[in-house]
Amino acid sequence: MAKEKVIEKKTAGMEEEAGEFSTFAREDAEDRKVLRISAWGAVAVHVLILLINFPALTAQPREVDTKDKKVFVVRTPKFRQPPPPPENPVVREEVVRVPMPDPTPDEPEPVRTEEPPTKIDLDIDTTIRFVIPDAPPAEDPVGPLPVGGDVKAPVKTFAPQPQYTEIARKARVQGAVIVQATIDKQGNVTNVKILKSLPMGLGEEAVKAVEKWKFTAATLNGKPVDVFYNLTVHFRLQ
């Protein structure tokens, strides 16, 4: 009896499992059917949308009939230029000269007789001589003159060398200092102005040296004059 019960339980379990499998297979088949129907429905909807939005895809091309068409050629009209306006003639007023009547027609016209020119005897002394007076003596020019033309340049006679400053010697500064000075009639150098300088006190040393220089005086027409003169002082390390 026990064995029969066990066999019945196994048989019942197998039947239940078979029933569950058949139910699962049926539901799977129904799901596939629904999926296919949905897919075909979506395709149909998309095709319908394309036909509605793009009717040109389904329309057949029309044949173009060119037999009855007429071609019109438009020509650009050409206009003649208007004639130039007539020039206004200049009207000149005619001047009519009216002779003035004689206020005294009964009186005779006066007769004018030309008198012969009178001769004037001039007693000219041919011994007169015209003498051109000498020019006044030239005055001495006032103030220093620039060198050039009739102004002869002065000549250097004594020129001591400038002194190097200690800081410029250590820095090995070399070059030239250009000054403008006045050279008087005695050949002395005055009113020295620096035009181009060097650093570290070399410009001041150049001025001190130039003030000691001596020149022969510049001349104008052989006379000594004061002149402006540019002088160059060189600084070189040996």
Residue 63 lies in a domain: no
Contact 235, 209 (CB under 8 A): no
Mean pLDDT of all residues in 127-153: 71
Domains contained in the chain, number: 2
Residue 200 lies in a domain: yes
Residue 160 to residues 10, 207, 211, Cα–Cα distance (Å): 144, 12, 10
Angstrom distance (rounded) from CA 147 to CA 229:
7
The range of the structural domain enclosing residue 182 comes to 145-235
Residue 81 lies in a domain: no
Q: Which of 15, 35, 55 is the last residue of a domain?
A: 55
Residue 137 lies in a domain: no
Q: Sign (positive/negative) of CA torsion 146, 151, 153, 155?
A: negative
Q: What are the pLDDT digits (tens) for 80-90?
A: 777 777 777 66
Q: Which strands sit side by side in the sheet containing 151-152, from one edge to the other?
A: 151-152, 218-220, 223-225
DSSP string, 99-162: PPPPS-SSSPPPPP-PPPPPP------TT----PPPPPPPPPPPS-EESBTTEEPPEEEE-PPP
Residue 149's pLDDT is what?
A: 86
Residue 172 lies in a domain: yes
pLDDT at 178 over 90: yes
Residue 11 lies in a domain: yes
Angstrom distance (rounded) from CA 211 to CA 189:
5
pLDDT at 204 over 90: yes
Residue 45 lies in a domain: yes
Angstrom distance (rounded) from CA 100 to CA 22:
157
| Region for residue 166 given its phi and psi (left: phi exceeds 0; alpha: psi -120 to 50; beta: otherwise) | alpha
Residue 140 lies in a domain: no
At residue 195's C-alpha, the angle toward residues 180 and 205, to 5°, is 80
User: Would the pTM count as exceeding 0.95?
Assistant: no
Residue 175's pLDDT is what?
A: 92
Pairing verdict, β 145-146 and 155-158? unpaired
Mean pLDDT of all residues in 50-77: 63
Higher pLDDT: 77 or 105? It is 77
CATH number of the domain enclosing 216: 3.30.2420.10
